[in-house]
């Protein structure tokens, strides 16, 4: 089991408000790492540090180091970094274009022009995201005509199309119905064979179902990090215990 990413002593401030405090976390290759915790604990902020999405915001100060394959991500060109670390968002956000163009968007901006090659990538990505059978006859249809669950799988396929190594999921099911949620969870379980996955969720059952490791965050601190089994059966921190047993949050 190899370490894919390593977070060391990470602190983050929005203006003067400290949102992350001394975070330490190892993310293992081909495993699913879940980050759980009550609203406002900093879990989304943390996952957005991993592909430097917080760079887009004003007035953010970040200290500490995040490594991808032992390389400091602040020294990696941000375009390359985001190619290697994909992200799926809370609200399905397909672009207002056809299904085909959505998937081809990433490869195109990274320089793939060959039509045949693009078609191959689109088909392969949609198959990996288990959406191909549902949309193969409608590739020119607007992506916005798909259902919410299909849109989210489209966004996953769009991420896969740039061939990432790590995929970040920021509460990917919070806008979806239970059946669509189940499909995404099955998909995540399948994707970990080829990708390293980090998922933020406020749904503890989801963390228990899909992840191998779980990190519990509270008020900007990482209180506990262990295998998912240990976190849910034998938590060491009493805050963790009361959160997973539903006493607060």
> Under the rule (CB under 8 A), what is the footprint of another protein?
51, 53, 56, 58, 78-83, 86-87, 89, 91, 93-97, 105-106, 109-110, 142, 144, 155, 158-159, 162
Q: How far is the CB of 218 from another protein (least distance, A)?
A: 26
- How near is the Cβ of 53 to another protein at its closest, in Å? 7
The backbone torsions φ and ψ at residue 115, rounded to the nearest 5 degrees and listed phi first, read -60, -45
Shortest gap between Cβ of 219 and another protein (angstroms)? 26
86 or 220, CB closer to another protein? Answer: 86
Question: Least distance to another protein from the beta carbon of 221, Å?
Answer: 26
CB-based contacts of 101: which residues, under 8 Å, 6+ apart? 95
Query: Least Å distance between CB 12 and another protein?
Result: 18
Rank residues 83 and 239 by Cβ distance to another protein and give the closer one: 83
Q: Output 173 or 223, the one with its CB closest to another protein.
A: 173
Min dist. Cβ of residue 69 to another protein (A)? 17
Choice between 43 and 83, CB closer to another protein: 83
Q: 163 vs 182, which CB is nearer to another protein? A: 163
Nearer to another protein, 56 or 179 (CB): 56
């Amino acid at each position: 089991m190899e370490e894919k990413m390593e977070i060391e002593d990470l602190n983050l401030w929005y203006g003067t408000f400290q949102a992350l405090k001394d975070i330490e976390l190892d993310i293992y290759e081909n495993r699913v790492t879940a980050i759980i915790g009550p609203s406002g604990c900093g879990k989304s902020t943390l996952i957005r540090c991993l592909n430097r999405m917080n760079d887009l915001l004003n007035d953010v100060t970040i200290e500490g180091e995040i490594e991808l394959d032992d390389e400091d991500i602040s020294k990696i060109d941000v375009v390359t970094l985001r190619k290697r670390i994909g992200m799926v968002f809370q609200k399905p956000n397909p672009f207002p274009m056809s299904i085909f163009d959505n998937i081809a968007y990433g490869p195109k901006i990274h320089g793939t022009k060959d039509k045949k090659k693009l078609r191959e990538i689109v088909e392969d990505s949609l198959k990996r995201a288990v959406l191909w059978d549902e949309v193969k006859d409608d590739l020119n249809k607007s992506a916005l005509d798909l259902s919410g669950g299909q849109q989210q799988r489209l966004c996953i396929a769009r991420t896969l199309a740039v061939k990432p190594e790590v995929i970040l999921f920021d509460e990917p099911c919070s806008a979806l119905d239970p059946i669509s949620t189940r499909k995404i969870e099955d998909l995540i379980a399948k994707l970990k064979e080829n990708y390293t996955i980090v998922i933020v969720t406020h749904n503890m059952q989801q963390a228990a179902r899909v992840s191998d490791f779980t990190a519990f965050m509270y008020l900007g601190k990482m209180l506990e990090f262990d295998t998912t089994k240990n976190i849910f059966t034998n938590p060491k921190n009493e805050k963790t215990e009361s959160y997973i047993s539903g006493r607060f949050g």
